[in-house]
């Protein structure tokens, strides 16, 4: 579903993805990691316009259990929990995935900043960084060891991550180089799942609600949700943000500025 960042009624963006696990965007196209747990070679990535104007198209097949996805340029990076690896593939589906790094301990949520990937381990509740070309081994950024890390996003030089523990979740921030201990941004969030950002605002999804939160706040009480899902068909599991850009104004000459469309088409 597509929900305005300021709140409001949602619109359906994609139908027919049986088990969506994670989502990212390149331009106005959504890329959804999809696949049931425990089935070999049943995982896929599908692409669909964000406005839902056409049906989804499968661009990547034969994954096992894709649990996280992010984009760097026009390349997708997918964390496969069951394979214990991160693979990359072009977003146009023109070639098969290649392994960036393997032998990982249950990679789950994943995000990127520059030429670095950041991923969470579902098995050790830790966050690691690794170059997108796999040229060096993963480096520990955060070690928690107890709770499930459900989402990751980067703003500037800060990594934000959501944690679900005993049904009372939190959002933490930490420098992307792991140079200091994490600090709490928000706490007491029941059923927290996905996390994304646009500008300096975090967007948090729980199983039923979507919230926005400025990054400069520390709160134990979230604002009213932007959107609440009251349907019976499943839960909210993942979130990404698409920033709409405004075309630049037409150039002005002389004392009168004429913008396109003022007097019809030419």
CA–CA distance, 21 with 216 (Å, rounded to integer): 29
pLDDT averaged over the chain?
85
pLDDT at position 37 = 67
pLDDT at 252 over 70: no
Token duo for residue 34: 């999809």
Name which residue leads in pLDDT, 109 or 265. Answer: 109
DSSP string over 122-179? TTTTEEEEEETT--S--EEEEE--SSEEEEEEEETTEEEEEEE-TT-EEEEEEETT--
pLDDT tens-digit map of 56-73: 899 999 899 999 999 999
CA–CA distance, 45 with 19 (Å, rounded to integer): 11
pLDDT at 125 over 70: yes
pLDDT at position 14 = 65
pLDDT at position 244 = 61
Using a pLDDT cut of 70, give the percent of the chain over it. 86
Name which residue leads in pLDDT, 145 or 241. Answer: 241
DSSP string over 192-225? EEEEEEETTEEEEEESSEEEEEETT--BSS----
CA 242 to chain centre: 10
pLDDT at position 13 = 66
pLDDT at position 63 = 92
Is residue 16 classed as helix, strand or coil in its secondary structure?
A: coil
pLDDT bin (cut points 50, 70, 90) of residue 216 is confident
CA–CA distance, 60 with 203 (Å, rounded to integer): 27
pLDDT at position 84 = 94
pLDDT bin (cut points 50, 70, 90) of residue 17 is low
> What are residue 122's DSSP bridge partners?
none
CA–CA distance, 238 with 225 (Å, rounded to integer): 16
Q: Are strands 169-175 and 158-164 parallel, antiparallel or unpaired?
A: antiparallel
pLDDT tens-digit map of 78-110: 999 989 999 999 999 999 999 999 999 999 999
Token duo for residue 225: 């949700």
pLDDT at 253 over 60: no
pLDDT at position 121 = 93
CA–CA distance, 166 with 149 (Å, rounded to integer): 12
CA–CA distance, 42 with 175 (Å, rounded to integer): 36
Global pTM value: 0.86
Name which residue leads in pLDDT, 74 or 3. Answer: 74
Contact of 109 with 149, CB cutoff 8 Å: yes
Contact of 93 with 110, CB cutoff 8 Å: no
pLDDT tens-digit map of 225-251: 999 988 777 788 899 998 764 444 444
Compute the average pLDDT of residues 14-32.
Answer: 84
Nearest to 88 by CA among 113, 57, 56, 66: 66
pLDDT tens-digit map of 182-206: 998 998 898 999 999 999 999 999 9
Sheet strand arrangement including 158-164 = 148-155, 158-164, 169-175, 183-189
pLDDT bin (cut points 50, 70, 90) of residue 7 is confident
Token duo for residue 132: 């997108």
Nearest to 154 by CA among 191, 109, 209: 109
pLDDT at position 156 = 94
């Amino acid at each position: 579903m597509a929900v305005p960042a300021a709140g409001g009624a949602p619109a359906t963006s994609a139908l027919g993805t049986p088990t969506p696990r994670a989502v990212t965007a390149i331009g106005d196209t959504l890329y959804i990691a999809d696949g049931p747990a425990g089935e070999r070679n049943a995982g896929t990535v599908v692409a669909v316009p964000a406005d839902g104007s056409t049906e989804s198209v499968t661009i990547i097949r034969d994954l096992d259990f894709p649990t996280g996805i992010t984009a760097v340029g026009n390349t997708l990076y997918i964390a496969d929990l069951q394979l214990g690896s991160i693979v990359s593939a072009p977003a146009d589906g023109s070639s098969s995935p290649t392994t960036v790094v393997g032998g990982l301990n249950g990679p789950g949520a994943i995000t990127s900043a520059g030429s670095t990937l950041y991923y969470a381990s579902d098995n050790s509740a830790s966050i690691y960084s690794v170059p997108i070309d796999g040229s060096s081994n993963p480096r520990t950024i955060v070690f928690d060891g107890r709770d499930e890390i459900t989402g990751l996003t980067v703003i500037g030089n800060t990594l934000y991550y959501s944690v679900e523990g005993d049904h009372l979740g939190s959002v933490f921030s930490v420098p992307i180089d792991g140079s200091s201990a994490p600090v709490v941004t928000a706490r007491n969030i029941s059923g927290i799942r996905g996390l994304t950002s646009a500008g300096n605002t975090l967007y948090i999804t729980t199983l039923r609600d979507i919230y926005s939160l400025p990054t400069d706040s520390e709160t134990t009480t979230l604002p009213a949700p932007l959107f609440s899902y009251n349907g019976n068909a499943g839960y909210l599991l993942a979130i990404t943000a698409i920033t709409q850009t405004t075309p630049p104004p037409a150039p002005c000459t002389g004392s009168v500025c004429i913008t396109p469309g003022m007097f019809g088409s030419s």
